[in-house]
Amino acid sequence: MLKTTLVIVKKLFAGIQKGLELLSMGMLLAMVVIICYQVVMRFVFNDSPSWTEEVAILLMIWFGILSIPIGVKLHLHIGIEYLFNQFPLTGQYVISRLIYLLIAGFGLVMIVYGLELVQFMTMSTLPATKLPSAVEYAVIPVSGVLLLYNALELFWVSYGTFLEQQPQPHE
């Protein structure tokens, strides 16, 4: 029963992650289109719409914050590899578990305080689009859930799998 539940949760989060990756790509494309539109309207027609900058910034915030859990999952974040690689493999494994616990803790902080921030910002609106300001911050708890999940999933990687993932020395 537990194993079946874990498989379902893993598939669910894989689907959510894939969907958010596609959403991020769409936001990046939308940002480019909106900024190009704004530039053309400003310099060709001397009439830049007021909403374009606000929407582009909103998309940039969402894109940036959604990239955090994706980067953790794919090991894309900057790390101090030289110091880490000086430890024996067992030490590297233990240190990486500690790092993933800290990342999971940060994800938990994003969830708790992100929800508080969203709730606090529901009463104000963005000036150009008149959207609730909570829209700007709603990505924080969403990203926190994914970050927490990804960090815990990486935390539970076995020592054998960890060893398999290590780069092999060149001969």
Residue that is written with structure tokens 């498989």 in the block = 7
**Vertex 77: Cα angle to 72 and 83 (nearest 5):** 115
Give the tens place of pLDDT for each residue, 31-53.
Answer: 999 999 999 999 999 998 989 99
- The one-character DSSP state at 46 is S
Given pLDDT bands bounded at 50, 70 and 90, which one contains residue 170? low
Within 10 Å of residue 107's Cβ, how many Cβ atoms?
25
Closest CA to 156 of 102, 101, 105, 111: 101
DSSP string, 103-137: HHHHHHHHHHHHHHHHHHGGG-B-TTT--BTHHHH
Helices (DSSP H) in the chain: which residue ranges? 2-43, 51-73, 81-85, 89-120, 134-137, 139-155, 159-165
Q: How far apart are CA 98 and CA 149, in angstroms?
A: 15
Give the tens place of pLDDT for each residue, 85-144.
Answer: 889 999 999 999 999 999 999 999 999 999 999 999 999 999 999 999 999 999 999 999
Predicted TM-score (pTM) of the model is 0.86
Closest CA to 35 of 56, 50, 49: 56
